[in-house]
Amino acid sequence: MELLEEHRCFEGRQQRWRHDSTTLNCTMTFSIFLPPTADNVKPPVLYWLSGLTCNDENFTTKAGAQRVAAELGIALVMPDTSPRGDDVADDAGYDLGKGAGFYLNATQEPWASHYRMYDYIREELPTLIKAQFAVSDRAAISGHSMGGHGALILALKNPGTFTSVSAFAPIVNPTQVPWGQKAFSNYLGNDESTWQEWDSCALMQASQSQDAIPTLIDQGDADQFLANQLQPAVLAEVARLKSWPLTLRIQEGHDHSYYFIASWIEDHLRFHAEHLFAK
Ligand SMILES: N[C@@H](CCC(=O)N[C@@H](CSC=O)C(=O)NCC(=O)O)C(=O)O
């Protein structure tokens, strides 16, 4: 691992690291915020998954999460959104290829050799974080848009791994909307039955009641992608039918930007803290 940057931030440390990923078969960069802690106290971790076109720095520099994470004693881990490098397949569109990994494991060429973001976030990155940093085993997950989809599917597919999940303007039903259909047909192929295991609505529909975890979704009503890409009400309806503890909040006047995330991230951190620190 190579330390690329380090900054004091409130009473904690904001760092950026580069490492070789065996899962993704390329060099990756991630950011981490380490809060101040008393000696021998290991903070829990909130994994943040960003959206289309992002890398690890969008959330780090725009969301303003560090002040409250420092106060609460939560470490923040911000991975990149896709594999990177000259030999990694890409597409001219902003919604496919680099910056658009969709947190799944691709099965189709030319994507399959690198695009395994699901395995990277589920296994390789947490293993590395726990080995290299003094953090506890307790973890929660959150994300925005494509990253909200990622957070939801990671939580739904891995019962017991996360204490809680939250999302800002997530793509909840990717099998039914243009962003998801473009990504899934390329990464997974045209057999739509293989898409279901990457769709949070389908996963929640098939979930067991004992696996439900507290879930918070914020959605701006002035979001330009709300009607044709996001539709969080579809997941809220599945949650209602399954008695899954999901709270969907519609935030008046907010769009899809990081100004929206910055406005509500404190609520999400306090929501996760309640569950990360529960006895
Ligand atoms: N360029 C695109 C829209 C790209 C965009 O809005 N990206 C969002 C995430 S969208 C869903 O995953 C984002 O977070 N951008 C980075 C930022 O710092 O704002 C278009 O013009 O339509």
Most ligand 1 atoms within 8 A of CB, residue of 52, 152, 179 to mutate: 52
Look up residue 110 and give its amino acid. P
Sign of CA dihedral 99, 105, 107, 110: positive
Q: Using DSSP bridges, classify how beta strands 26-34 and 2-9 pair: parallel, antiparallel or unpaired.
A: unpaired
256 pocket-lining for ligand 1 (C-beta < 6 Å): yes
Most ligand 1 atoms within 8 A of CB, residue of 49, 50, 54 to mutate: 54
Query: pLDDT of 186-200, one tens digit each?
Result: 999 999 999 999 999
Query: pLDDT of 209-231, one tens digit each?
Result: 999 999 999 999 999 999 999 99
On whether the CB atoms of residues 80 and 29 are closer than 8 A, the answer is yes
Nearest Cα residue to 99 out of 142, 50, 60, 148: 50
Averaged pLDDT, 138-153: 99
pTM value is 0.98
Nearest Cα residue to 55 out of 33, 76, 30, 77: 30
- Spatial distance between the Cα atoms of 244 and 108, rounded to a whole number of angstroms: 33
**pLDDT over 90 percentage in the chain:** 99
Q: What is the pLDDT at residue 39?
A: 85
100 pocket-lining for ligand 1 (C-beta < 6 Å): no
Quick one: 3 exposed, middle or buried, by C-beta within 10 A (0-12, 13-18, 19+)?
A: exposed
Rounded to the nearest angstrom, the distance between the alpha carbon of 108 and the centre of ligand 1 is 25
Closest C-alpha residue for ligand 1 atom 5: 52
145 pocket-lining for ligand 1 (C-beta < 6 Å): yes
Active site residue 145: yes
Rounded to the nearest angstrom, the distance between the alpha carbon of 53 and the centre of ligand 1 is 6
Catalytic-labelled residue, pool 164, 223, 254, 272: 223
Give the CA-trace dihedral at 50, 276, 119, 216, to 10 degrees: -50
174 pocket-lining for ligand 1 (C-beta < 6 Å): no
